[in-house]
Amino acid sequence: MDKVLLHCCCAPCSLSCIDPLREEGIEPTAFWYNPNIHPWKEYEARRDCLLGYAKEIGMEVRVQEDYGLREFVEKVAADLDNRCTYCYEHRLEGAARYAAEHGFEAFTTTLLASVYQRHELIAAAGERFAKQYGVEFLYRDFRPNFRAGNQRARELGFYMQKYCGCVFSEAERYQKQIDRDKARFSENAGK
């Protein structure tokens, strides 16, 4: 397989995917398309880290610049508990469309590396959009490489994000602190 588009959510997750693909004789072209990542500084940090790493290892990157805060929030606001489905589908459809329009034989995604993501939903979305756009979805379970990839990313000094990229996920990561502050300030309100 000569032309494979690798949708990349960030450089740390890409470490779990690039070497295994290269070991198979596949030289992926990275594809940055992540309109789910917010705020802007987070989006920029992840994109730029990927671009820097790709340059170091001689990997081509295609960037579809789309900071999609408004559209993302509009699409997920009515059903926040199922926002991940929209997020996976939107990005994988974008990758499948791009792959088909630019002569790639197949596409895959670094989302398949994360132990925190809903792997089955990602794989199902990839298969569905592969059929829709007439390009192969190269399924690989990259999760066994996840911890080692993150360790290597730390060693390389990569920007290491603390949440998936969705602004609602960022709020969830602070929920315990929010609850503690709420209790602390409500206790002090009567004093």
Q: Where are the alpha helices (DSSP H) in the chain?
A: 11-23, 40-57, 69-76, 83-101, 119-133, 146-155, 167-173, 175-188
Is position 87 annotated in a ligand binding site?
A: yes
Q: Is 17 annotated as a binding residue?
A: no
CA distance 110 to 88: 11
166 carries a ligand binding annotation: no
Query: What are the backbone dihedrals phi and psi of residue 108, each rounded to the nearest 5 degrees, phi first?
Result: -150, -175
Look at the chain and count its residues. Answer: 191
Known binding-site residue numbers: 9-10, 84, 87
Known binding-site residue numbers for [4Fe-4S] cluster: 9-10, 84, 87
